[in-house]
Amino acid sequence: MPSLPTSRLLVYAAFALIVLLAGGWSLAKAGRAADSAGSGEPDAAVVVTPAAAAPSSAPDGEGPPGGAAGIQSEAASTTTTSVPPIMVHVTGAVVRPGVYSLRAGARVFEALAAAGGPAPEADEQALSLATPLADGAQVVVPAEGEAGGVNPGSGGGASAGAAAGGAAGSGAGSGAMISLNTATAAELEELPGVGPKTAEQIVASRDAEGPFTSLEDLERVPGIGPKTIERFRGLAQP
């Protein structure tokens, strides 16, 4: 068998080396691809940032507690109504006659307690101790044998007669003071402890002896003494 020239053998050897190198490179590349696929990991990490939650579009009252509806609900205000006290005049047979501040809706027995209680000569049976009082009321505690009672204040309302006679300014129910020199017998009966007979005697004394110049002048009327006159203070004038 004839031998090949040396130059041709070198060509063949070079070609074979190139083939071997190309095959090895292909095998290496295939191995890296297989490793990458087997690991399940992407070649590059991708970070996705979630968008901020949009405000809820639910109707009022159905949103989360922190929403505008919840804030408005928690901010609802509660109005507290306080009832002012009433002022009551306690006079007559009590330890400390005067004007006292009592709770709204107070009754006669509470007014007596505020005034130190009834005096020894008081006739408590002449009064209804459970009678409710209004602002501006007067509680007249009678002594034995005298007349007493409760004159309604502003909360009791003025009578129809007092409203009709408001121009004269003599009705006790209207809040004006009674004029001893111009009031009729019916108007004088609105004073504590004054009945029809005493009212007629006041009118008769006024006509016979002249006008009254002070409350003390009423002592000339039979049946009226210093205690009764004291009850008229703030309610009547000459």
Neighbours of 100 (CB within 10 A): 19
pLDDT value at position 115? Answer: 93
For 131, residues 6+ apart whose C-beta sits below 8 A from its C-beta are 107, 108, 150
Please give the Cα distance from 127 to 129 (Å, whole number).
6
Residue 57 DSSP SS3 = coil
Please give the Cα distance from 10 to 40 (Å, whole number).
46
Domain architecture of the chain: domains with CATH: 85-155 (no CATH), 158-238 (1.10.150.320)
pLDDT value at position 116? Answer: 93
Tell me the pLDDT tens digit for each residue of 53-105: 444 444 454 444 444 444 444 444 445 568 899 999 998 888 998 999 999 98
Least confident of 12-21, 60-69, 88-97, 149-158: 60-69
- The residue written with tokens 């047979």 in the block is 93
Average of per-residue pLDDT across 141-155: 73
Against a cut of 0.85, is the pTM above it?
A: no
Q: Is the pLDDT of residue 171 over 50?
A: no
Please give the Cα distance from 40 to 25 (Å, whole number).
24
- Per DSSP (E only), the strands in the chain are 86-92, 98-102, 138-141, 149-151, 178-179, 236-237
- The residue written with tokens 């130059």 in the block is 7
Tell me the pLDDT tens digit for each residue of 183-231: 898 888 888 878 888 889 999 999 888 898 888 899 999 888 888 888 8
pLDDT value at position 64? Answer: 47
pLDDT value at position 102? Answer: 94
Please give the Cα distance from 234 to 196 (Å, whole number).
21
Average of per-residue pLDDT across 2-31: 69
Average of per-residue pLDDT across 110-130: 87
Average pLDDT score over the chain: 72
pLDDT value at position 30? Answer: 62
